[in-house]
Amino acid sequence: MYMKTLILFFFVLVSFVSAEGLKWLGFTDGTAKVKKQSKPAVIDCYTDWCGWCKKMDQTTYGDKKVGNLLSKSFVCIKINPETSKEKIAYDGKEFTTMQFMQALGVQGFPATAFMDKQGKLITMLPGFIPAETFYQILTYINDECYSKGVSFEDYQKQTGGCKKK
């Protein structure tokens, strides 16, 4: 029993370290970096008590392929609306983090929003997203297929192509 617990602890620790290897920023610093570096952003909306948020940190953000793409091509923003005191300025308005979550349409956690290279919100996805699907979403966003009129479903069918049918 002790060995199983030790092995489980090791895998959780490795996953946690992998997820923590990403450079997460607050909203204000993150959006400034988006505009300065002309990179899209991933906005991880989470809470401390959320089990699925922790699972997403471990298995999705902790996935090597996902982590590499995020580190190379995205600005990573984390927002915990229950603990953050940050005032969010977006689209000419100022929000508390909880008000911003409501404006995004977040109804539960985790929730993931995506921002384009100019700092405009693209979409918000509710719930846990497995690493393989998340990687496909990241490549879709990074290739700017959404702006070319290609649906995510068509993108998946074309094995990563942005060609409109």
Predicted confidence (pLDDT) per residue in 100-140, tens digit:
999 999 999 999 999 999 999 999 999 999 999 999 999 99
pTM across the whole model: 0.84
pLDDT digits (tens, 9 = 90+) for 15-44: 333 445 799 999 999 999 999 999 999 999
Please give the full DSSP string across 3-30, using - where no structure is assigned: HHHHHHHHHHHHHHHHHHTS-EE-HHHH
Half-sphere CA count of 64, side-chain side, radius 13 A: 1
SS3 107: coil
Query: What is the assigned CATH class of domain 28-129?
Result: alpha beta
Q: Hunting for tokens 């509710």 — which residue is that? A: 126
